[in-house]
Amino acid sequence: MKSFLDAFRNGEKGFVVKNAVFLPFHCEIISIWIGKEMSLLATPEMIVDLSESDILWLREGDSFTNIVFKKWNDLSKELGRHKGHIILRAAEKGADIFKSENIHYIRIGFTEHQKEIFFEIIDDPYDL
């Protein structure tokens, strides 16, 4: 299992292919938000039910997590160039999700290079 805190400290990057993001770590996802940064009035769309197969699909490899967003066509076009981001509310894989100190917000951003994504640990998803 790859830790997202270790991946963050090591400066690892992920990538996007159309509507799928590939993250260089594993985690216990509690919720996912997709936010657009085009307006101060825009509110992020929260995806809480990860079991709905028509919204998204999750896959874990030995060293990565792949999330496919089925309602979106091309994430780098829709959220790239500072138009938006994805936020995961998650804990390290195997961590106790009932302890608040184990829960983190992971912001996934899209770089100017359309296929590369970065991530950062943030304190408050409403203060971006």
Condensed to tens digits (0 to 9), the pLDDT of residues 8-65 reads 899 999 999 999 999 999 999 999 988 776 555 556 677 776 766 688 888 999 999 9
Evaluate if pTM is beyond 0.95: no
Average pLDDT over residues 89-105: 94
Give the per-residue pLDDT at 72.
85
Structure-block tokens of residue 27: 């985690």
Dump strand ranges (E) for 11-83.
Answer: 14-17, 20-23, 28-36, 45-47, 56-60, 65-69
Give the per-residue pLDDT at 95.
95
Cα 107 to Cα 74: distance, rounded to the nearest angstrom: 18
